Amino acid sequence: TLLHLHVFSFCLYFIFLNKSASFKQMECFNAEIPADGVVNSIETEEISENVVKADETTLANGEDEAGKAGEEYAYLERNEFTSEIFKVEVKNMGYFGIGEFKKLLRNTLKFDVTKIKAPTRKEFAFVCFRSQEDQQRALEILNGYKWKGKVLKAHVAKASADPLQKKRAAEEQESERKPKKQRTAVEATCPLSHIAYDQQIKQKSEEMSALLAKYTQELRKVNPRAKPHLDKFQFHEVLPSPTVNGYRNKNEFTVGKNSVGEVVVGFRLGCYSDGSVEVAEVADLPHLPEQAKWAARSFQDLVRKSKFLPFNPDGNIGHFRQLMVRCSSATGELMLVAGIYSSNLSEDEQVELKQELKSFYEDLANDAPYKCSSLYYQDVKHREAGQTINPVEHISGSTHITDTIQGLQFRISPLAFFQINTEGANVLYQKAIDLVAPTKDTTMLDICCGTGTITLAFAKHCKKVMGVEIVPDAIKDAEFNAEANGIKNAKFFTGNADDFIKSMVREALYDQEPGKPLDLIAVVDPPRAGLHHRSIAAIRSADAINRLVYVSCNPHSAKRNFIELARPESKQYKGEPFYPKSAVAVDMFPHTMHTELVILFEREPKTKADEKSSPAEGAAQSKSEATEEAVSEENTTSVT
């Protein structure tokens, strides 16, 4: 009986334990807590705290991302005009060319357009306007407008993000994974300076040969009739520069800060759109003359002492923005053009800053190794509608400097084009003269003549020379230079090249003796982007021009022009093609990747075989030109 009692008691205790455990498990289940006692409860509290912290971090990150996004669009809130505010996206366009779309907007619809962006030239484009009224008018007209068999759709578009802020945000994320090495000033501006100069020439010769081989190969496809001419085409060599170090007579320095936050006047190590605003000093750069280095250091001292601030593109704050330096190896003259961002300066403050510039360089003249002989103030801010250059104001000293090429003296104004390597220009111009071989019966047209350096260099070899240039001050310099050098057979025109080519040809024909054949040559030395296709068309249509010398400071960009000159005759390019005969390059830019190329083009009279070319060939050619017109328009808008 006693044994039965003990067994019964044990069973009751066991049942009680099981019920307690079950009840405890139920409580834990309802509370979503593991049934492992106090230890696990503590872990659960820690988990809960971590979840709260994670939520707070996510919220903070969200706010941070929003802040970064806000920084990318902060420029829209500045007290400055930006057409990104009045932006429209046009859709359902099909394939189109920038040129024809511009004509639709500006000529047909009479829109006041500030900017057109078409990343793919297919289906859509972005158009920016000057005001909300213009934007609204465009929306009403373009939405449902029929163009090229398509019904266009238009709606308000979001402004583009600031490329600097966008790049910085990306770099912050990237820097967490791997650090980025910044380039030095030498690496950014003189990438070949570590190579012996004879090796630089060899490398550039190989690159130029490869470029011309690619060009001639492409031309064989575009114009099969060019084959016999291309078989005879010769590239001679890259000629070295007489001056290898300190050859640049013009430099544009940026005012900014270096990697440790010091105010510096030097070269930017990258571009704004790539997210870089860091500026490095120029003391170690081999291609700058000592005059230019001194100019950068002296201006740097001025900026550091001044109450006015260095300009910062990140927010468009500050005042000192840039310094253009021009110096003459012939006379030792030094011209400084201080670029000032005046949008946040009152008129009185501008007067004060100009006086500060004048006094600083006047006081510096007695003790400095170099002297500022010409000082200008340039208002560098957002350009107004129709404004092509930032205006300059003479402050002190002479208004010009003088340099010498081919034994001729040239007066140079602040904004005029002049070859940056004076000694190299002597070689370059002589080679151009040798290639085309003018005579006393030759009339020469200089298209994009600048201050008339090439025009006047040819003058003593020709019967008459004529030049055209879009910058009025450059033409004034050219006319002065002709008179100062006693040259009587030169004439200059101000305006777009394509507007004056035909009139210059007519004048050459008018001056020609009756019954005597006209020997008319043209020389073009355009900006880096090359000639506008309208200028090429004007040259092609001028049948009297039988030889052409093309001087290119950027052969990679000019290759498009080379093809346009040698295409078969078509609706767009009337007149016989110009075929390349020979070429030579001059190393105008030692220590850099750039080379100046001179090509002689000639054309032959039309033959009976040419007149029998099939209409289908002409139609195919016109279609090919139409597809390339977009690139031509975009790359050369600024040239004319």
Full DSSP string of 182-231: PPPHHHHH-TTTTS-HHHHHHHHHHHHHHHHHHHHHHHHHH-GGGHHHHH
Q: Which amino acid is at 32?
A: E
Q: Where residue 282 sits, what CATH number does that domain have?
A: 2.40.50.1070
Q: Quick one: pLDDT at residue 179? A: 47
Q: How far apart are CA 522 and CA 586, in angstroms?
A: 20
Hunting for tokens 């209409």 — which residue is that?
Answer: 615
Q: Quick one: pLDDT at residue 390? A: 87
Cβ atoms within 10 Å, residue 278: 16
Q: What is the mean pLDDT of residues 590-619?
A: 72
Q: How far apart are CA 595 and CA 586, in angstroms?
A: 6
Determine if residue 621 is labeled as part of a ligand binding site.
Answer: no
> Residue 19 has which token pair?
């019920």
For residue 62, tell me if it sits in a domain: no
Pairing mode, strands 125-129 and 250-257: unpaired
For residue 522, tell me if it sits in a domain: yes
Q: Quick one: pLDDT at residue 616? A: 44
For residue 239, tell me if it sits in a domain: no
Domain extent, residue 124, equals 79-156
Cα–Cα distance list, 29 to 19, 32, 43, 58, 336 (Å) = 15, 5, 16, 30, 83
Q: pLDDT tens-digit profile of 432-472?
A: 999 999 999 999 999 989 899 999 999 999 999 999 998 88
pLDDT for residue 231 is more than 90:
yes
Pair 395, 451 in one domain: no
Q: Quick one: pLDDT at residue 82? A: 67
Hunting for tokens 């619809």 — which residue is that?
Answer: 109
DSSP 346: -
Pair 129, 270 in one domain: no
Q: What is the mean pLDDT of residues 391-399?
A: 95
Question: Over the chain, what is the mean pLDDT?
Answer: 81
Pairing mode, strands 374-379 and 334-340: parallel
Pair 374, 481 in one domain: no
Pair 355, 431 in one domain: no
**Phi, psi (deg, nearest 5) at residue 401:** -120, 165
Pair 446, 588 in one domain: yes
pLDDT for residue 535 is more than 60:
yes
Pair 398, 471 in one domain: no
Q: How far apart are CA 394 and CA 375, in angstroms?
A: 6
Q: Where residue 146 sits, what CATH number does that domain have?
A: 3.30.70.330
CA 633 to chain CA centroid, nearest Å: 15
List, in order, residues 6 or more apart from 325 with CB less than 8 Å away.
250, 251, 252, 253, 291, 292, 295, 296, 334, 335, 336, 337
Instruction: Look at 470-474, 574-578, 600-604 and tell me which has the smallest mean pLDDT.
Output: 470-474
Pair 368, 427 in one domain: no
List, in order, residues 6 or more apart from 160 with CB less than 8 Å away.
84
Pair 121, 262 in one domain: no
Q: How far apart are CA 331 and CA 400, in angstroms?
A: 12
Q: In the chain, how many H helices and how many E strands? A: 18, 23
Q: How far apart are CA 607 and CA 593, in angstroms?
A: 42
- Percent of the chain predicted with pLDDT > 70: 75
Q: Where residue 595 sits, what CATH number does that domain have?
A: 3.40.50.150
Determine if residue 469 is labeled as part of a ligand binding site.
Answer: yes
Q: How far apart are CA 553 and CA 293, in angstroms?
A: 24
For residue 229, tell me if it sits in a domain: no
Would you place residue 83 in the very low, low, confident or very high pLDDT band (cuts 50, 70, 90)? Answer: low
Would you place residue 77 in the very low, low, confident or very high pLDDT band (cuts 50, 70, 90)? Answer: low
Pair 450, 548 in one domain: yes
Task: Identify whether the C-beta of residue 372 lies closer than 8 Å to the C-beta of residue 334.
Answer: yes
Among 335, 344, 479, 342, smallest CA distance to 394 is for 335
Q: pLDDT tens-digit profile of 268-308?
A: 887 655 556 789 999 999 999 999 999 999 999 999 999 99
Give the bridge partners for 521, in sequence order.
444, 547
Pairing mode, strands 579-586 and 234-239: parallel
Domain count, the chain: 3
Q: Which residues are catalytic?
A: 553
Cβ-in-10-Å burial (0-12, 13-18, 19+) of 496 comes to middle
Would you place residue 182 in the very low, low, confident or very high pLDDT band (cuts 50, 70, 90)? Answer: low
Among 113, 118, 128, smallest CA distance to 94 is for 118
DSSP 250: E
Q: How far apart are CA 243 and CA 248, in angstroms?
A: 10
Pair 378, 457 in one domain: no
User: Could you tell me how many residues make up the chain?
Assistant: 640
For residue 434, tell me if it sits in a domain: yes
Q: pLDDT tens-digit profile of 6-60?
A: 444 544 444 444 444 443 343 333 333 333 333 333 333 333 344 334 444 433 4
For residue 162, tell me if it sits in a domain: no
For residue 495, tell me if it sits in a domain: yes
Q: How far apart are CA 83 and CA 130, in angstroms?
A: 6
Q: pLDDT tens-digit profile of 373-388?
A: 999 999 987 666 556 6
Q: What is the mean pLDDT of residues 96-110?
A: 88
List, in order, residues 6 or more apart from 299 with CB less than 8 Å away.
253, 255, 265, 323, 336, 338
| DSSP string over 15-33 | HHHHHHHHHHHHHHHHTT-
Pair 365, 427 in one domain: no
Collapsed DSSP state (helix, strand, coil) of residue 254: strand
Q: What is the mean pLDDT of residues 337-353?
A: 95
Pair 256, 286 in one domain: yes
Out of 136, 156, 176, pick the residue that ends a domain: 156
Q: Quick one: pLDDT at residue 387? A: 62
Instruction: Look at 23-37, 390-404, 492-506, 531-545 and tell me which has the smallest mean pLDDT.
Output: 23-37
List, in order, residues 6 or more apart from 303 with CB less than 8 Å away.
255, 263, 265, 310, 320
